[in-house]
Structure 1
Amino acid sequence: MSQAVPLPAHPLTVAAVQGTPVPGDVAGNAVRAAALVGRAEGARIVVLPELYLPAYHPPALAADPVGTDVAASADGRVADARLDPLRAAARDGGTTVVVGAAVRHPDGRRTISSLVVDRSGAVRAAYDKQQLWSGERELFDPGRRGATLVVDDWRFGLGICYDGCFPEHGRAAALDGAHGYLCPSGYLAGSAHRRDLYYAARALDNTMYVVFANAVDGADPWRFNGGAAVYDPQGRPLVRGADSGEDVLVATLDPAALAATRAAHSMLADRLTEPGLPRTTLVG
């Protein structure tokens, strides 16, 4: 499908946030998120870290699932009054906000999710993380499908942290016509090499922009390493945060750069349906 989707007509300004939420404090973290959104001047999309609303803190998530979750209806709508400051920030700024949450579904599933707060202030559980990492499997259920977010005439695949470690996840977004890939994440201190490699690679693999948000700081063993970034379609950082300290990184996505990259590096057009098949086995 990627070849049939036109390129955007106009640039789009986005922001990747690295923030330090308080474990278990959904209401307070919504206020903090609203303040961070307010700092993203001119951004039409703001991406905050994985599980930002309850904080990525497994002990708190295990101890108080009722207090740390937000409930979604069968059609994904979230009507939690604790998120009102974030709704107001989206409305006031004309900004679409992507923020990490723990979501409880009507069928009892608990997922690591990206909420999308649109410019009217409506909140929807838009995407549930499909690739759960390590101990996440003890607390959460995997998502069942991918999702694409359209803002203006830009299409963005949604991923969350470990999803981005799987090339096929980003490729599925690109084949759905994505011009970019939004990845709220939670990378722990000591993982900077992988943090900086995976999302740059997904950008270049698929000649698309990547917006990578990450948690930062906190207390060991749940201390995070920032490095939020926006990567261009060749995997080069347009902006990147430091390894500590909250920050809001703003960059503008350029459809001309997207077009030039896809013309010069035509992996999406040239890809084989079944690469490497059939195979020959050699004995040395």
Structure 2
Amino acid sequence: MTSPQTVPAAPLTVATIQATPVPGDVAGNALLAADLVHQAGQRGTRVAVLPELFLCAYHPPTLAADPVGTDVAADPAGVVADPRLDPLRAAAREAGVTVVVGAAVRHPDGRRTIAALVVDRAGEVRVGYDKQQLWGDERELFSAGGRGATLLVDGWRLGLGICYDGCFPEHGRAAALDGAHGYLCPSGYLASSEHRRDLYYAARALDNTMFVVFANAVGGDDPWRFNGGAAIYDPEGRVLARGADEGTAVLVATLDPAVLAATRTAHSMLADRLPDQGGARVSMSG
């Protein structure tokens, strides 16, 4: 485990992206993602995060009707070689951007997961993380992941979560205790959830004194209409960049290690956390 007090040596410029994928069109959505990654790269981005299930779109009727067409297959090492993702591979290489993008993944053992794929700067695609906390009817289509994951980029440790994971304080805390400096969350928040969307990820940032990068889908048709609001938060939960509730956007901010160090000095929850938080409990009557 890396000490939470260890900070990177240099800043890291990141992008969070909100956009509208087409249900079931993995090839077309990969092309759209490639264009958005190029845009992010032109603004100095080194890490770009796209929404949950972006490559197939978060549209349960389509995911249920066409699992073969909407899934990408991973080999036993977690590598994804699907040729539909070639434009995204090329964009990561050409722009020099590490990409985190949501997909439905079929594993060799038959499991189907909601995954965060990592496309590295050499263009290789791997399963970075499988969503652990499935929400509602997702349980009818997908299996839950069994472990957390941390992405290492340019000296930064970036915990991975997907949407509903970020609603659980324990998930972000586990990343922070693994030494994470940031928390990347591809997500899919539906219209009318703006209050929770804007609260959870700011809270995860302050809870754990770490940067949070929240990506979200936008647009679509009811009841699968998404509300944008993609955001990047500083380690006190303040907004560094935020998208509107409608429209495509590539939002860029630079994560400053000096801000991280100063915040963790001023707000030392990670260092002060008790080994057995809460300990034995006593019941009493009033």
TM-score tier by shorter-chain length is over 0.9
Please, which of 262, 267, 270 is the counterpart of residue 268 of structure 1? 270
Which letter does structure 1 place at the counterpart of 2:186?
P
Inter-CA distance 238–59: structure 2 relative to 1 (3 Å threshold): same
Q: Deviations over 1:93-118 (max 9, x none)?
A: 00000000000000000000000000
Aligned residue for 2:14, secondary structure, equals: strand
- Measure the CA separation in 2 of the matches of 1:12 and 1:281: 48
C-alpha distance in 2, partners of 1:217/1:160? 19
**CA distance in structure 1 between the aligned counterparts of 2:74 and 2:254, rounded to whole angstroms:** 32
CA contact (8 A) 1:69 1:103 kept: yes
Q: What residue identity is the alignment partner of 2:31?
A: V
SS in structure 1 opposite 2:254? strand
> CA separation in 1, counterparts of 2:47 and 2:76?
25
1:52-94 CA-to-partner distances (Å, cap 9, x unmatched) read 0000000000000000000000010000000000000000000
Aligned length: 284
Contact 1:114/1:160 (<8 A) preserved: yes
User: Would you say 1:65 and 2:67 are equivalent positions?
Assistant: yes
The answer to whether structure 1 residue 36 and structure 2 residue 26 are counterparts is: no
Give the alignment partner of residue 172 of structure 1, picking from 168, 174, 180. Answer: 174
Matched residue, 1:213? 215
Distance, in Å, in 2 between the alignment partners of 1:210 and 1:143 is 21
Taking only the aligned residue pairs, the percentage that are identical comes to: 76
How far the C-alpha of 1:4 sits from its partner, in A, is 6.3
Distance 1:166 1:74 in 2: 29
Give the whole-Å Cα distance in 2 for the aligned partners of 1:138 and 1:47: 26
Normalising by structure 2, report the TM-score.
0.98
Contact 1:3 1:269 (8 Å CA) reproduced: no
- Deviant stretches of 4+, over 2 Å: 1-6
Distance 2:21 2:185 in 1: 17
Determine the C-alpha separation between the residues in 2 that align with 1:246 and 1:73: 33
- CA-CA distance at 1:6 after TM superposition: 2.5
Structure 1: state its 5+ residue gaps. Answer: none
Counterpart CA distance in 2 for 1:164 and 1:267 is 19
Gapped runs of 5+ residues in structure 2?
none
Q: Distance in 2 between matches of 1:2 and 1:104?
A: 32
Match of 1:231 in 2: 233
Q: Rate the CA distance shift 1:4–1:262 in 2: closer, same or farther, 3 A.
A: closer
Equivalent of 1:54 in 39, 50, 56:
56
The answer as to 2:26 corresponding to 1:26 is yes
| Inter-partner Cα distance in structure 1 for 2:119 and 2:85 | 10
> Following the alignment from structure 2 to structure 1, what is the Cα–Cα distance between the partners of residues 137 and 27?
25
**How does 1:183-262 map onto structure 2 within 5 Å?**
183-262=185-264
Rate the CA distance shift 1:30–1:260 in 2: closer, same or farther, 3 A: same
Alignment-derived partner of residue 145 in structure 1: 147
Residue 82 of structure 2 corresponds to which residue in structure 1? 80
2:84 and 2:151 map into 1 onto residues whose CA distance is 24
